[in-house]
Each structure stands twice: as C-alpha cells, then as structure tokens.
Amino acid sequence: MMRPMPRVHAAPTTAAQRVADAGLYAAVKTRDARFDGRFFVGVTSTGIYCRPVCRVRTPLLRNCRFFGNAASAEHAGFRPCLRCRPELAPGLSFVDSSRTLAQAAARSLTQAVLEGQDLRLPELAARLGVTDRHLRRIFAAEHGVSPVDFVTTQRLLHAKQLLTDTELPVTQVALASGFASVRRFNAAFAERYRLSPSALRRERIGVSAATAPAAAGAMASTPPSATRRRVRSAAAASAHTPTVRLGYRPPYDVAGVLRFMARRALPGLEHVDEAQGLVACTMGWTHAGQRLHGWWAARFKPERHEVEVQVAESLLPVLGAVLQRLRHGLDLDADPALIDPVLATVPGPVVEGVRVPGAVCGFEAGVRVVLGQQVTVAAARTLTTRLALALGEPVVTPVPGLERLFPTAAAVARADAEVIGKLGIVRQRVRALQALATEVAAGRLRLEATASLQDTLARLRALPGFGEWTVQLIALRALGWPDAFPATDIGVLDALAPLFGGRDAKAAESASQAWRPWRGYAVMKLWRSLEKVA
C-alpha cells in the first residue's frame, strides 16, 4: 500500500515572512545551538522535520518550512528526524508574570503526558480559571494546533524516546505514553511517522551506530582514581539501565551549577563529582499506588550541549516524568539569549549561562529551605542530612554511599515532633516542617513548576514559620519561578552591600526591579560572586 504524501506547510508568501525565514535559515546553516528548541525546520523534499542543530546536510532554503513547535510540524505532515531526535530538544522557559494561559496549558499537558496522567481539557481549564472553549481558542492561536493534536505529539515523541533509549516492550511503551491500547498506539504511530514502533526500534540501531557515541552510560567513562571504583561499580551494576540524552541551549555554567550542588549534597543520598561533571542521587516515586525506589545519574557533555542520564530500571515506568523533573532540576530549558543581557547589569564578575538549580522533588526543596532559615549552608546541610537518615527509607543502589531516600511528606507529617527535635532542629522549625508536610501529603499544596503560582504562594504564606524569604526561595527552586527575589537574603545583601554602603533590603528590592523578569537568575549570580574559587 502506498504511503500518503505529507501535508506540506505552505511556502511563505509575504516579504516579511521570507525575511524571517531567511534569518532562521542562517541558524540552521550554522547549526546554532542557541536556537535549539526555539523552532523546528521541516524539509519538503523528505517530509522530515529537524532541530536547527541537526548534523545532516543543510537543505535548500526553498525546501524549508519553519515551525514554533514539534506539534505544528507534525500537524503539517512532517515526521521527526531519527538523527537529531526532536524529542531531545530543550523546551521553552516561561515567565509567570507574562505567561499566557496557552503556554501554561502546554506545560501542564506536557507534564501530564510524561507522568502518565490523562488530564482532561475541562479540568485544565478549570484549574486555569477559564472555560474549555476559551482555552481551545487561545491554545490554537498561540501554538497553531489544537490541544488534542499537541497532546498526541507529546505522547508520540515520548514513545519515540522510550523506543530508542530503552528496551521496554512495545506494550509498556504504549501504556507509559498514555495510549489506552496497543492498537491505538500502533495506528497513531503509523499515521504520523509512517512506520511501526518495532520498525523504529530496528532503525535506531543503524542510526545510532552511524551518528551517535556509544551509549555506554552516564557513568561509564574512566575517571580519575579518586572516583574510579565508585563509577566502575555503578556502570557494571547498571548495565541494563537506559542512557537517555537531554539537550540544553548554550552557554551553560556547568561549573557553577555543580559547585552549588556539591556544597549542598546530602551524604547517603547524593554524590557530586565536579571534575567529571557528574551528579547522582537516590529517588523515590509513587506510581499506581506503589512506592518505587531507585536512583539516577547525570553527566554533563558540554561539547554536545547535552546531559547523559541513567535511570534505575525500577523507575522505568515513570521515566518520562523523571526526565521532566531532571530538566527542571538542572534548569535545562533556560534561554541564555534572553537572560544573560539582563544579568549583565547585575553586580559581579561576568558569568555566561547562569542557571537556577531547581528541585527534582518540590517537597525536598521546601524542607531544605525551611531548615536553612537563619543558619549557614553547611549547618542546613547537616540538619537536612540528619532528618533524611532518620525518616528516609533505605534503598539499594549500584553507587557506593547512596543508600537512603529522602523522606516522604507523609513520613515527616506523622513523625513524632520530639523525635525530630532531637535531631537538633528547633521547635519553630519542626512546626513549620510538619505544617508543610501535612499540606503536601494531603494534596492541598503542589510544589511543582505547573502549580498555580499565586495560589501556591498564598498557601505557603499561610503556614506557620513561613516568612517572605522562605516563600521566595521555595518559589525559585521548587516552582521554577524565574522572578523570585528574597530581598532579605544575607548572601544577596552582602553581594550588594558595596553599592549601598551596607546591608539594605529595601535598596536591594528597589535595585532588583531592573532585573525583572529574571531576578531569580540575578540571585544566583549574586551568590556566585561571593564564592572564593581556588
């Protein structure tokens, strides 16, 4: 049976559109990684769409059609490239103060797909405070496709990554991608990509061998002797775990992010090797009523503008959700082209590609912030470690030294307050911790990037022991709000003190208005300016 020809997007007809396309084409010719994920290019002669960084021969401009997202390219009839793999492209970062409802809806729909949830449009519209009819209208105007088409694209791209990077059976891939049956999955895959899931899995072998480095694992290269045994053990024990790749836009301050994480790493739960660009951490996840125990490891690959990630086999049922949390935790979707010009006006040495290390677990980020009230980073790390070792569940990992999960919100909420107090945590902090844990465990408080910002901030401010410093830092690290600014933070005030002749929170708040909407990144740069790097 002859395969149908792709529905090709019409060629640009206006002079302005031709000029705009010529500018995008320049980025394609130079394979400029700064534009990765900001647009996709469909090639009419092949019916395939690519990332602007694709290493294949550059197509002619007259054969190129440009799209703002993968869903639009697929709606026009193009299928994803097997070499550059559009599912690896970084996403777009949104600023809450100017975020449209359509952008917020896209984030929520993407997360629902990756977490295996079936988020109905009326439910999403109610969460955003609009009617579903209005949401459909503004979504199509913003993204060029309907919410249904957008979700289908996200599901298929997620399935494509699972088929390429894991050995999960096709049946499990279909279910993990949100399809109700294998039949529907196969039909959707064949309609969009004009090949079957099993055919894609066969084709990946030849493509990977020709274009990609061996997937030896995020922890498989040979490091210096100081960590060689740790890494060799992990690589051997994790031979059956998949290695997946996550892209980001350069520049990326890898050294700054690793130093930030290393200073706060919890013994028994986290390992950071700055020299090797490696981060490893234990992870617990509740899925389908069961508690999954596992770990993940991420290694930066700056030469490819990627992060290679290994995830424990036990977490494969929630792989998409884990990867989405890692994108947030490592701030891989940030756009330095928008942020760096603003940070140039922030006091301190020039640093390109500043990132805000977020949280893979929002509750854990909240606990860290509460225990960091009025103490040093080292003291907060000590208290958090004690809490984790006392209330966290044990876990077996291939990484020596990683043996404990961070405690769940339910475990902290039901713990005896006196037991927590004996860890050296003062009564006021214990009360704040358990109030936070109770709200999270009950589902009344969602500490994640897709949660309603204003509603979440209001709920946090209502908790005992939660001042504005605590609320702003949780908004920064757990909610991913790029404009969060803790004006009373000692580090921020010390970094700005030379400007004001001393610590002045009001002056800091006033000065920060010039850094909107990226004040959270300004905080990271100010903290970094205080570091004494050998």
Domain residues of the chain, as ranges?
A: 15-88, 101-211, 241-343
Average pLDDT, the chain: 87
> What pLDDT was estimated at residue 230?
47
- Are 81 and 49 within 8 A, CB to CB? yes
Render pLDDT for 3-24 as a digit per residue (tens, 0 to 9).
333 344 455 557 667 777 888 9
> What pLDDT was estimated at residue 203?
77
Residue labelled with tokens 């020299």: 275
Q: Has 489 been annotated as catalytic?
A: yes
> What length is written for the chain?
534
- Are 413 and 434 within 8 A, CB to CB? yes
Architecture (CATH level 2) of domain 241-343: 2-Layer Sandwich (3.30)
Render pLDDT for 336-349 as a digit per residue (tens, 0 to 9).
999 999 999 999 99
> What pLDDT was estimated at residue 235?
42
Q: Has 281 been annotated as catalytic?
A: no
pLDDT band for 124, please (50, 70, 90 cuts). Answer: confident
pLDDT band for 128, please (50, 70, 90 cuts). Answer: confident
Catalytic residue among 81, 340, 489, 494: 489
Non-local CB neighbours of 533 within 8 Å, separated by 6+ positions: 259
What 3-state DSSP class applies to 337? helix
> What pLDDT was estimated at residue 4?
37
DSSP state letter for 402 = -
Across 67-81, 89-103, 460-474, least confident range: 89-103
- pLDDT exceeds cutoff 60 at 493: yes
Catalytic residue among 21, 36, 50, 165: 50
Across 7-16, 249-258, 314-323, least confident range: 7-16
The span from the CA of 335 to the CA of 331, in Å, is 10
- pLDDT exceeds cutoff 50 at 152: yes
- pLDDT exceeds cutoff 90 at 234: no
pLDDT band for 209, please (50, 70, 90 cuts). Answer: very low
Render pLDDT for 160-197 as a digit per residue (tens, 0 to 9).
988 988 888 899 888 888 888 899 999 999 999 988 99
> What pLDDT was estimated at residue 93?
63
> What pLDDT was estimated at residue 72?
92
CATH topology of domain 101-211: Arc Repressor Mutant, subunit A (1.10.10)
- pLDDT exceeds cutoff 60 at 220: no
- pLDDT exceeds cutoff 60 at 202: yes
CATH number of 15-88: 3.40.10.10
How far is the CA of 454 from the CAs of 69, 96, 457, in angstroms? 28, 10, 5
What 3-state DSSP class applies to 290? strand
Across 121-135, 225-239, 315-329, least confident range: 225-239
- pLDDT exceeds cutoff 60 at 499: yes
The span from the CA of 311 to the CA of 161, in Å, is 14
